[in-house]
Structures are given as C-alpha cells and as structure tokens.
Structure 1
Amino acid sequence: MANTGDCCAIIMAAGSGSRMTDLTNQCPKALLPVGRFPMIWYPIRSLEKAGFSDIVIITRKSWEKQMHSILSDKSVPILARLEIVSIPDSEDLGTADSLRRVAPKVKTTALVVSCDLISDCDLTDFMSVHRKHNSSITVMLSQLPTSIVAETLVPGFKSKQKNAASEKISIGFESNNEDHILFWRSQIDMDSEYLSLSKRFLDRFPCTRIQSKWTDCHVYMINKFVIEYLINRSDINSLQGELLPQVVKKQMSTLVKDKSHEEADMTTTEEADMTSADADNKPEKRKDLIDYVAGCEFDLTREANFLSLTSSNFGASPDSPQKDLIRCYAYRQTAGFCVRANTIAAYFEACKQIPRLMLQFLDNKSKGTMPPVPESTSIKPKSQVGADCLLGENVEIGEKVSIKKSVIGRHCKIDDKVKITNSIIMDHVTILESSNISNCIICDSAKIGDKCELNSCIVGQKQSISTMSKHANEALSSVTQMMEVALE
C-alpha cells in the first residue's frame, strides 16, 4: 500500500456523457452499471487499492441524492469515506472549473481520476513516477483502449458508431527520458498535418519523439502550485485541453534572480513558445505559472540542485537561470486492461470484459461472497449459462434458455427458450418467451415481448418492445423517438 500522504483523491463525476446519450439521457454516466456495480465504483476501488481512505467525488446537484443512495447501498462494497461535492446544473463547468471548487481541500497534490476509468493499473506505480521526477503534472497514458474498442461491434445506429473512436493526441517525449513530456496537442486542434517547432525548443531538445498512439486516461497527479495558478485563471475550463498544454509549454520557462539587489524578488523570463515560429513575444503581464512555482519551491531545495551530482545544474551559481522548475511526466500502461467508458463502444466492451476481471477489483472479503451465479438466482433445467457470463441477484431464468458472453442485472426475468448472446441486460428487465437478443444493450425496467428478434440494438429505460418485433441497429427509446420527430 502506498503512502498517500497529503495527496487528495478526486473523482470527476459531473460529465453528462454527451457521446453516449442513448444510455445517459435517463441515467448519469457515473452510475451506469458495469457488471454488478456502478461505473464509478471501479475508480473508487482503484484508489482504495492505492491506499486512499478518503475520496472526494464531484457531481451535479441533481445527481447528488442518487449518488448517495447507490454508493451507500451495502451491496456495493466501499471501504473509503466518500465526500460528495455538488456543482450547479445550470453552470456548464469543465474539469478545470470543477477542480477549482475543491481546491481548498488540496494540501500538496491532487490525484484526479475520471469516473469512467476502468483499469487494473496499480495507481501506486503511477504515483511513484510523479514523486520520482518531482513532477508538476503527471499523466496516465494507455494505448490499450484504441485497439480493444476498435474491434467492438457497437449497438445502435450505424451512423453514430463513428463517434466511438478514442480521442487522438500528439505527444512529444524526450528521447533520453521517455517519461518526460515535451509536447502535447489534441489532433483536432492542429491546423494541418505539419508540425512547427521553434529553434530554441529544438536546440534544447534536438531528439524528440512525437507519437499519436497513446490515449489520455484522464488520470492526473497535480502539484499544489499548479492548482493555485488554476484558481486565478478562470479562463481555463478543461484540464486536458487547456491546462495541460499550458503546463507542458511552460517547461521552457526559466527563473532569473536580479543580482543587483540581494533581497530582490524573483522574476520570470519566458522562452519561445515551443510550437510557434515567433520567438520574440514578450511575456504576459499577468502572473505566470512559474511565479507560483517560485513561491512553492523551498530555498533549501533550490540550493541543493547546485550541490547534487545528479542535478543538471551542478556547479552552477545559485543566481544563474534555473530550468526544469516545471516538469511534466507520463506513466504508460502497456499491459492489463484499461478503458475509458465514455462512448457506447468503450462502455459495451468494458461490460463484456468485467466477468473475467471482477476478482481483480474485489477485496479478499468480498471475493468469497460474490460467485458468478448468486444463490438467489434460479435457473430451470435444460438452460445453459456460459462461464463467461455474470448474473445479478434474484434473476429468474426459464427452461431451455441460452446465455453466452453476456451480463445480466438484478431482478431480471427471462422466460423459456430465450437466447441472449453478447449482450448487456440491466436491472429489472423482462424478456418473454422465445425472444432472441444478440449484441444488444437493454436498459433498466425494459420489457421485450414474445418472439422478438433484436440485433445490435439499444433498448431505452422502461421501454416496451411489442410481440414478434424485429429490429437491427436501432436505438429504441421514447426519448430518442421524440427527438427524431422534433428534428423532422
């Protein structure tokens, strides 16, 4: 177990799930079921395994009661103390705005995790990279989600499946230190396929590897001085899209001491923008990020940099310009399982993988009390439930039922001769006799009539599908239908 110290663990759970509205228009993304637990349980469990006993959750005001109710349910095993902080629904706040709301809780560092991260990564390794390099911001990256989700056949409208691709980011790493991030830019923000770097940047880092194979997991360890800077920059709304690129760029800044006055204040000089050909721009008049690090760095630490054999500043004068006061590093997960369930494709894949991964998330006490088929679930003779399936409590399964590669929620009723393959069935769903469900997501309290044929469909919450209906690649929801009529 890691020493979490004064690190504050924060889970971002206020997102609307705009890229999976067929599922989130009636349920917050953070509370969508993944296996037997809500999605947010998985980052909570990852933080618990890393040694955190207190976790702050940021959510919307309208979801606060529902979040309290579900996370306090005894069937959801949680050891840590949870503090839920709500933000107004009327305000369209980004991740950086949300972090400002809880900034007073951060004493030294903040470990920020997205509610949709489902990963078997050991966060203690991630935290070790941050501490090893005394990093200002450390980012968790993975190349696993792209390859896994790309192979997923997505339920719902085919035209919407294009949105299932992971966000593409171009990241530059120092050749001699592959953890050191030198460049960060979302590909949608790049004006062309050509990349322009300043001469000063290339002089300092002549060997830089620009890669676009990594996915940002939205897990950040952020030092206090960066959050103090963020508090005074209300124009920054996003951690990934705005704050992180700025901090990466500010690594080119140096801190200079005015030698004419021994007690003079520190001033800053900004080197050229590493992504701009104009290298002569004057620094902004308002307080810069490096001014905040100057206030947080202890004098003893600065003096030690000039005496340490391992420091690049060894032998230099303490009054000389100091570089590397701002540092950005990455931890890369290259093995195991990691998905950000922020699209229907990623969510669908995560649900299908959970049956084989569940034991990795459970603590020792819970492992013995959660078999793949609970005692409260009844299965009549001649029915087959595959070993790659996961069933919830109080499920009734009739005769000659076949269930393969699927997850069945709690309190579901499945009549005789039903076939379910490669599907996610949420809680309180009823599927009547002889229906065939393949590659589908059936939401809470839906009812499927006799002899229905559903292939690659999403059935909305409380939606009823009439007897002998046949649907393929559709989103069947009263909300969706109303929207389609309005558009026409």
Structure 2
Amino acid sequence: MSNPGDWTAVIMAGGSGSRMTDLTNQCPKALLPVGRFPMIWYPIRSLEKAGFSDIIIITRQSWQDQIHSALSVDTGSIGARLEMVGIPDSEDWGTADSLRHIADRIRTTALFVSCDLISDCKLSDLMLIHRKYNSSLTVILSQLPSSILAETPVPGFKSKQKNSAAEKISIGFESSNMDHVLYWKAQIDMEDEFVFFTRKFLDRFPCTRLQSTWADCHAYLINKSVIRYLKERPNISSLQGELLPLVVQKQMSMYVRDRPKEDADMASPGSDVRVGKKKDLVDFVAESESDLTNSVKFLSLTSDSFGLSEDSPQKDLVRCYAYRQTSGFCVRANTVAAYFEACKQMPRLIGTFWNNKKKEALLNVPESTTIKPKSQVGADCMLGESVTIGEKVSVKKSVIGKHCKIADKVRITNSVIMDHVTIQDSCNIINCIIADSANIGDKCELNNCIIGHNQSIPTMSKHTNEVVSNVSQMMEVFLE
C-alpha cells in the first residue's frame, strides 16, 4: 500500500526523556519497553494501520543503530519501510528544527507523530478531518490522559509526582464548529493573563468556547505551505510552543494579491509584526492554492469569498482544526506516570495494534515461559518470552519483560518489570517499576519504588516511595 495521497509519515524520536531520567539514563525513551515491544513500535503500527508504507524516524545520530537493531527484531510485525534520519547529538534541536531538517523531503502534507504517543485512535480519522476542511494544520486532542493519570499512583519520590500531570493547553473552539481551533496557548505561558479577543475577531467569531481540559497528543498533520514558511523562520524551534500558536493566530490574516494585510491578532493586537519583507504564512498558503481552488471559492455559495473578485481580500486561507478523541485509550508516555499506565494497559490493548491474523500469537503468557506449579498469573498480566516463574508465585495486574527470573514465593502486584530482571525468593513488590537487568535479593519489600538499570537490592531490604538508580545517587551527591 502506498502512502495516502503522497503524504509523508514522520516519527519524532530524538527526545531524551528529561521527565523520566530514572528510566532513560541508559536507554533512549523511544526504546523503553511497553509490554513486549519498544515504545516506538506503537506509533509505527498506528501509522501502518492508517495506510503508510514508508515512515521516516528522526532521532539522534548516536541512537540510529540502537533503534534500528531493536526494530529489526520485530520485522515480522512491522511491514513499513523505516528510514532513519539522524540529527546532531551536539545540537539542542527542538521539534520544529527537526521538521526543518527534512522539509525538502515533504511533497504535500506531513503527519508528525511523537514516539511516545500510545493510542488506539485511528489516525485515518485525523486525516479525514484534515481533508474535509482543507486544513493547513490539524492536531489530535484528547481528554483521556488527564482522567487516567489523575488516578494513577506514581512510583518514586512523592515530591516528584506533582509534575507528572499531562501538559495542558488553553484552546478556543468555534461554537458552531467545534472542530475549528481559534485559539491556542500553553497554560504555563498564560500565568494570570486575562484572555481577551479583539473586536474584529468577535465580529467573525462571536461565540468562542475556551477550554482547558484537552491535552495535545503531539500528532500533527501539517501542509507543505506551513513547512515552507517554517523553513524560512529558523528562530522557531518548537512545534507545540511556537509554530502551532502562530499558525492558529494567522487565521485572522487576510490576503490581498501581491500584498498581505494583517487583519487582526487573536489575543493581543500588534503582537505579530512582519520582519522586513519576508513572505508571511498567508503568502505561502496563497501560493499553494490552485487556480481551480480559488475559482471554487468565488463561485461557491458556502464560501466567504462568494461574489468577490480575485483581487478582493481572501479570508480563511490559513485553517486549523482538531480531531478530538473522547473514547478508547490515549496517552503520551513522556512521564513516569504516563509510561507506568501505558504498560499496565497493554494486556488489554495489545490486540488493537495487530492485524487480525496475528492476534492468536499475542498470548499473555507465551509458550516459551515456564511457570511452576501452584503459581498464579492473572488474566490482566502480560509476560515476555523466556520468563521463568518459580513455585507459589502470585502476579497480578503487572507486566513482566522477557528473560526474567522470578524465584519461589514472590508476590508482584500492579508493577512493571523490564527485561532480564532477577527477583529472588519471597519478595513482595507492589506498585513498582524495575528497570532492565536489576537484581532483587531475597525477602525484599518494595512499595511504590523505581529501581534503575543494573541496580542490586540487598537481601531483606525495605523501600517505600524511593528511587534507586545511578541518576538519583549522582543527584544526591551533587545536592550535598
């Protein structure tokens, strides 16, 4: 299957996971295991289900081989052709910088998805919204992360848990068409600012609903005209924080042939000042409009431009819309809380990411796993390949990675155990994340803890609301 309409699919996988360094200090965020697969596997499968057969993965140059090797293991489940594009490790590039890096590769429209987006929504629904309105930029919004994470107990220090909430955006929707985005601003940037709109804005949109319950999923459909504009603006570094608010704001601009006219600013008059004689976004969008498209505008009864001449100011050249997911599962696994919840939901959700023919292969307990008598593994659990479980073991609401060794009389509840972990006899583990290759000694009691990569917990240790990792130890030394 070819890419839909020559659109380009791009996965952003260059982030370091700065909000979850206890887990990402020795592993790229994109490769953190979620269930049986690395995190990046899920957006790849979502793009494949939407019809994309070629996917560009933007990541750091030093991570390319590692990500390629990890995904090669799952070649049987990935049918798309994956192309790695490296960005310099020495540069602190934002998402807009990465997009600018591949701007020449994009023909018409690009679908950008973050590597940490795990959702069962259909990206094809986002694409339908984009086509329906001939949108310049279309985003996925969800109320699900906030409602899910609010009830998720987070392992680790309680003082860190306050920062685990999903990012919030204040978004204005046109009341008569709630798909239409009229205002966009991160709440962290608003502080105590009072939001107001100009008279010209209210003349065009007298009823606007301002909401703050939606989370940005970092999945964007962006037209080539916007990307061409971005290419000429090297000062824009972030898609969410800089480009999106600007594009939303530009909907208030009107275009006169050979002369853009700034009609009104959505939030603060005069804040959008043209730099020299550079072309504005409306110029790039106007250039992309075909003669046929313009003719339809002037002849269509449903168009704002009906009956006007081609030299008349054109409205709505820039258009921003949203696909809002209100059911199913959607989370950006960019915090410990979100990652923890995504892992625990995988036993229930994994089938939605597979073709029907392969669902029978996704047993919660694979054939390579060995479970001794009198042990119980709940139906809400998922075990990786080649796991060994001893006698009288209880596993409930947990995910255990591949090649783990669980000794006798161990109880694991509501936890995520990564690959190659060894847990000795009679341990009790509740609401914990235990990273790769950790070793837990006999009779340990761990409650609401994060155990980092390669960490060894001595016999009969007791830890509650703690983080045991190299990162935490280095921070403590620094603070002292």
| TM-score scaled by length of structure 2 | 0.98
Distance 1:475 1:200 in 2: 54
Distance 1:441 1:481 in 2: 17
- What amino acid maps onto 2:178 in structure 1? E
- What amino acid maps onto 2:137 in structure 1? I
Match of 1:241 in 2: 241
Distance 2:174 2:275 in 1: 27
1:369 CA displacement: 2.0
Distance 2:164 2:2 in 1: 35
1:368 CA displacement: 2.0
Distance 1:5 1:460 in 2: 44
Match of 2:39 in 1: 39
Cα deviation digits, residues 420-467 of structure 1 (max 9, x gap): 000000000000000000000000000000000000000001100000
* Equivalenced residues, count: 479
| Compared CA separation, residues 75 and 154, structure 1 to 2 (3 A) | farther
Match of 1:120 in 2: 120
Q: Give the SS at the match of 1:185.
A: strand
> Which runs of structure 1 show a deviation greater than 4 angstroms over 4 or more consecutive aligned residues?
none
| Compared CA separation, residues 58 and 471, structure 1 to 2 (3 A) | same
Match of 1:386 in 2: 378
- The match for 2:388 among 388, 391, 396 is 396
- What amino acid maps onto 2:300 in structure 1? S
| Compared CA separation, residues 282 and 439, structure 1 to 2 (3 A) | closer
Gapped runs of 5+ residues in structure 1?
258-265
1:111 CA displacement: 0.2
- What amino acid maps onto 1:386 in structure 2? G
Match of 2:415 in 1: 423
1:75 CA displacement: 6.8
Distance 2:234 2:2 in 1: 33
CA contact (8 A) 2:164 2:336 kept: yes
| Compared CA separation, residues 434 and 231, structure 1 to 2 (3 A) | same
CA contact (8 A) 2:304 2:315 kept: no
1:243 CA displacement: 0.3
* Identity score, percent: 70
Deviates more, 1:70-79 or 1:28-37: 70-79
1:482 CA displacement: 2.0
Match of 1:347 in 2: 339
RMSD: 1.4
Match of 2:106 in 1: 106
CA contact (8 A) 2:3 2:54 kept: no
CA contact (8 A) 1:2 1:124 kept: no
- Structure 2 residue 114 is the aligned partner of structure 1 residue 95: no
Deviates more, 1:76-85 or 1:380-389: 76-85
Distance 1:247 1:74 in 2: 38
- Structure 2 residue 418 is the aligned partner of structure 1 residue 435: no
Cα deviation digits, residues 248-305 of structure 1 (max 9, x gap): 1111111113xxxxxxxx21001122211459x8644322111111221112211211
- What amino acid maps onto 1:130 in structure 2? H
1:310 CA displacement: 2.4
CA contact (8 A) 1:389 1:406 kept: yes
| Compared CA separation, residues 145 and 74, structure 1 to 2 (3 A) | closer
Distance 1:10 1:243 in 2: 17
CA contact (8 A) 1:2 1:50 kept: no
- What amino acid maps onto 2:264 in structure 1? A
- Structure 2 residue 419 is the aligned partner of structure 1 residue 448: no
1:345 CA displacement: 0.3
Distance 2:406 2:75 in 1: 23
Distance 2:170 2:61 in 1: 35
| TM-score scaled by length of structure 1 | 0.96
Match of 2:294 in 1: 302
1:177 CA displacement: 1.1
Match of 2:185 in 1: 185
Superposed, 1:127-166 pairs within 5 Å as 127-166=127-166
Distance 1:317 1:423 in 2: 65
Match of 2:364 in 1: 372
Superposed, 1:203-242 pairs within 5 Å as 203-242=203-242
Q: Give the SS at the match of 1:365.
A: helix
Gapped runs of 5+ residues in structure 2?
none
Distance 2:300 2:463 in 1: 69
CA contact (8 A) 1:196 1:277 kept: no
- What amino acid maps onto 1:410 in structure 2? K
| Compared CA separation, residues 140 and 76, structure 1 to 2 (3 A) | same
Distance 2:342 2:2 in 1: 27
